[in-house]
Amino acid sequence: MQKEILEISQLNKSYHQGSETLEILKDLDFKVSEGMTAAIVGASGSGKSTLMSLIAGLDSPNSGQVKINGQALGDLEEQQLTRFRGENLGIIFQQFHLMSHLSALENVQLPLDILNREQPKEKAKEALSLVNLSHRERHLPGQLSGGENQRVAIARSFVVKPRLLLADEPSGSLDSETGEQVMDLLFKAVADQKMTMVLVTHDRLLAERCDEIWELKNKTLTKI
Ligand SMILES: Nc1ncnc2c1ncn2[C@@H]1O[C@H](COP(=O)(O)OP(=O)(O)OP(=O)(O)O)[C@@H](O)[C@H]1O
Ligand SMILES: [Mg+2]
């Protein structure tokens, strides 16, 4: 039987805006099996990034459950959750979120250092070489181009070999040619390391590179 890496059941999320309640996700169910890649598409404002924050445990649902590799995120204390996230999840945001005072190599090495993994420098160098950035190890984010920074962020996201990679519009801030090259590297890393990935994108061609496409519409996800 296929092992589920991500299992979401009956997820509800609303935001409060003054006296108003904005219901964003309603009774949402979603499963992704080990080794699969799933794309999430949907209109702007439909709740895709909200869903990704809930999967990453960066925000909590009003009700319902997110399980990653069998672990319900809601059962973890804050510190346990931070550790669980570091060990199991790789996260790529649209706006890189790199540490501006750390070099490319140091940014990639950071998650390994936090987890006390062995040979962090060697592993970080290897990850950077997988995204063709060995020649920029010592550059700071401010000295790198957009596409290069996104490649650093991608290397950082998979350097700990996470079970689940979450990518929210990873090529959104890149021009189409650079975006395509960076996405080629992302899909190659996912295939090489047999990772499971959830990818949010408005780019239909990119979505079609995934094994499954889901649409977020009317507050819920439907496979299309
Ligand atoms: N902290 C918040 N408080 C109130 N409303 C919020 C909050 N965060 C998001 N929203 C609202 O929730 C809705 C969904 O936002 P979300 O960022 O998840 O959309 P999205 O599908 O990722 O859109 P996009 O494609 O533009 O990135 C939006 O209408 C947004 O205004
Ligand atoms: Mg979004």
Bridge partners of 32, per DSSP, are 6
Ligand 1 contacts CB of residue 213 (under 6 A): no
125 lines ligand 1 (CB under 6 A): no
Residue-wise pLDDT tens digits, 131-182: 889 999 999 999 999 889 999 999 999 999 999 999 999 887 778 888 888 8
Q: Cα–chain-centroid distance for residue 16?
A: 26
Interatomic CA distance for residues 75 and 211, integer angstroms: 30
Task: Please name the residue whose Cα sits nearest to atom 28 of ligand 1.
Answer: 45
Please work out whether the CB of residue 99 comes within 6 Å of at least one atom of ligand 1.
no
What's the confidence (pLDDT) of residue 181?
Answer: 85
pLDDT score of 94 = 77
Under the banding of pLDDT at 50, 70 and 90, the label for residue 1 is low
Is 49 close to ligand 1, i.e. is its CB under 6 Å away?
Answer: yes
Number of domains in the chain: 1
Is the beta carbon of 201 within 6 A of some atom in ligand 1? Answer: no
Whichever domain contains 95, its CATH number is 3.40.50.300
pLDDT digits (tens, 9 = 90+) for 35-46: 999 999 999 999
Return the residue whose CA atom lies nearest to atom 18 of ligand 1.
47
Give the number of whichever ligand sits closest to the CA of residue 45.
Answer: 1
pLDDT digits (tens, 9 = 90+) for 64-119: 999 999 999 999 999 999 999 999 999 998 777 899 999 999 999 999 999 999 99
How high is the pLDDT of residue 176? 83
Range of the structural domain that residue 65 is part of:
4-223
Q: In this predicted structure, what is the pLDDT of residue 15?
A: 95
Q: Is the dihedral of CA 135, 139, 53, 5 positive or negative?
A: positive
pLDDT value at 185 more than 90: no
Cα 58 to averaged position of ligand 1 atoms, centre (Å):
14
Token output for 191 = 């295939």
Q: What is the predicted pLDDT for the residue at 173?
A: 75
Q: Provide, rounded to the nearest whole percent, the portion of the chain with pLDDT above 90.
A: 82
Atom of ligand 1 nearest to the CA of 46: 21
Residue 30 identity (one-letter amino acid)? F
Q: How far apart are CA 192 and CA 159, in angstroms?
A: 12
Query: Is the CB of residue 163 less than 8 Å from the CB of residue 195?
Result: yes
What does the pLDDT look like over 187-209, one tens digit per residue? 998 998 899 999 999 889 899 99
DSSP structure string for the chain: -PPEEEEEEEEEEEEEETTEEEEEEEEEEEEEETT-EEEEE--TTSSHHHHHHHHTTSS--SEEEEEETTEEGGGS-HHHHHHHHHHHEEEE-SS----TTS-HHHHHHHHHHHTT-SSHHHHHHHHHHHTT-GGGTT--GGGS-HHHHHHHHHHHHHTT--SEEEEESTTTTS-HHHHHHHHHHHHHHHHHTT-EEEEE-S-HHHHTTSSEEEEEETTEEEE-
